[in-house]
Structure 1
Amino acid sequence: MKLFARLNVIVLLAISALLFVAWNMRSYHPITRAKKVWSRQTTEIVVFGDSWSTNRLELPTAQAPAPPNKKLWVDTLCNEVVCDRIYDLAQSLPSHPSHRRGPVIDNETYANLTRSMNFTAGPTDIGDFRHQVDEYLAQDDARWQDDGEQKSMKTTIIFTVFFGIWELWDFVDLPEEAVLPAVVDCIASMFAQLDRLIQAKSVSSLRPTVIIPTVPDPSFFPRWISQRTSANGTDKYGQLQRHAVILTDLWNNALQKRIANWNKADVIMPDFDTWMLQKMREPEIDETELTAVPNIMKDAKFTELSQPCVSYTAHSSGDGTKIQPFTICDDPSYFLFWDDTRLSGAAHELLGKHVAGVLRNHTVSN
């Protein structure tokens, strides 16, 4: 009897331990992963884009610290859909935060469109979408070799493609008659590169999913406020800001129409622009003025929407010596933006869950 009692205790402890581990590792989705191993399924996310999508920051940590959790929306998306691997081909900002532009869709197209604007610093040294696709195709054979172990695997490929922020940033300065051709040329270049991706040996036999978010209005960014609408900015009367709203709608509408007529993959189009607008409106006072400001600010996810957590304005010590190139806020969780163009870690997490929800609902745009 004592032996059976001891066995019962051991079994009970084992079951309790398993339940404890399962509960604490539920974010790792152990059951789903076990099912995928059993059915020989694998999910891979291939990331193209700019610093909104990549953790491969090219800026030195001392000049541009990464968000505390170092996870972007694609990381949260991977966790939500239980992906097995992320191939990050996106590019970050250039070598100094004072540079205005990050990666664009096509460096040559961008240069031709903005040549008349006499920019002194362009993005030609940053890998554009064409460069990123070249890198993917160059590694294609090595990464997706069909050896005996992989032939029986059922692979799901998800491409994420997020560009357009830096085009919109500068296209607001273009003459009105040049704006529509500029947008059309950029989106045409984007789909030329997508055609190359779909024709890759490892992809051509599959039906991949491509996630192409809409582009948010650049006038939301702290950099826009500090450089254009501030007292010392270049857009004191809001003319460029109005142009940015129109240009953002034009870009996203043209993108949506192009997606609707492209049937080489399943395309998901999360609305980043509307998502950000909703975050901007969360702390606003109800028009009825029945809700107190403190209650609204308490219930809002982000209470600081126009200032970044990180400021690159260097402070000086008493003897005039610069002691650090940036300052960081006390609690980043209240900030929508980490620096003057990138979202905070908390915002990335919410955005990733939003994209995962759109993906789970199979909201295909084409």
Structure 2
Amino acid sequence: MVDTLLRPRNFIDGTRPAPRVPAPVIDRRRPDLRTYGPVETDRRRGRGATANPDGRYEPVQRERIDDGWDIDEEIDDLRTEVTIEKPRTIITKNDSPDIGFDRSINPYRGCEHGCVYCFARPSHAYQGLSPGLDFETKLFAKPNAPELLRKELSAPGYEPRMIAMGTNTDPYQPIERHYRITRQVLEVLEEAGHPVGIVTKSALVTRDIDILSRMAERGLAKVALSVTTLDPRLARRMEPRAATPTKRLSAIRQLTEAGIPVSVLVAPLIPAINDHEIESILRAAYASGAREAGYVLLRLPHELKGIVRDWLAENYPDRMKHVLSLVEETRGGKLYDSAFGQRQTGVGPYAWMIGRRFEAAAGRLGFNTERTRLRTDLFRRPAKETGQLALF
């Protein structure tokens, strides 16, 4: 294998592109992942992406090619690495007009679930890492999140509104079992009487039913489960380390029985892959207890276009061109359009048909007759920890 530098994005003298330079031969026992091109199937078993392309901020892109010196040696599999991150703030603000919250908390960067379609993958480029396999193997945890949250909620000018969790990466991904950051954040929110909305595709959320049920009883919590497909084989290909569809439906049932408002998200809808399941997913979710529902059409920002294209080429080569053609049809002739009001649902006849099918099925079943509104009047600013003893 030879790692070759391709398509330089910087210039040596300001006028000419950098020359094409071959890099040293890679040790096959521990091949460099930071190259564009398929990674060995055995090595990435249980992962979603098929490659590890360089991020968009890197000065060069590299591609691995076969130089004929392939040696049959044992190859290590990809292991999850977690780096401790210590941010200065934990509440992220946004002013996007087409989403229903203005603040969120993400206890982790990257996500071990490995969902190939995840729109958050390109955010890993900010860390100098790949949105491909790096996104699901090189993770960042923020164990000081509860401490930061308490500090920010204590600020004199803070005004409570629902905090969303799971908006970028899943707060209940597998490493949460060890770090328990999400649970600690919920403990702070419960103490402060602060509303929270959670989005996840993990059955691990049921671990925190004790906290969530108490908060829900006070009108402070709701949960949305993302159910992409009912086909376990498709789920295994698309989202290899997320909970199975059966476990997600079971989680909906358990949360509902505990008195926690639950909604289902059919997200993302991928044309010609899982869009035929709209009605069946909604029926199964309603039978499990969900009473609100929403959907999101496949989004392909930045590097995600190539990642999904490679995944389609490996898993559905006969459908790849058709799927991408339908995506372009819903995005004004492009693979992605980030315009507010359109990025979630798309445009054009195909997107319109998806929307009408969803509305009709949800209406027949009785979804969305009422919307859960969380309370903010119970908020009590946490006491600051000054280290001083009380006078009385």
TM range (shorter): 0.3 to 0.5
TM-score, normalised by the number of residues in structure 2: 0.32
TM-score, normalised by the number of residues in structure 1: 0.34
Q: Which has the higher contact order (CA 8 A, sep 6+)?
A: 1
More strand by share: 2
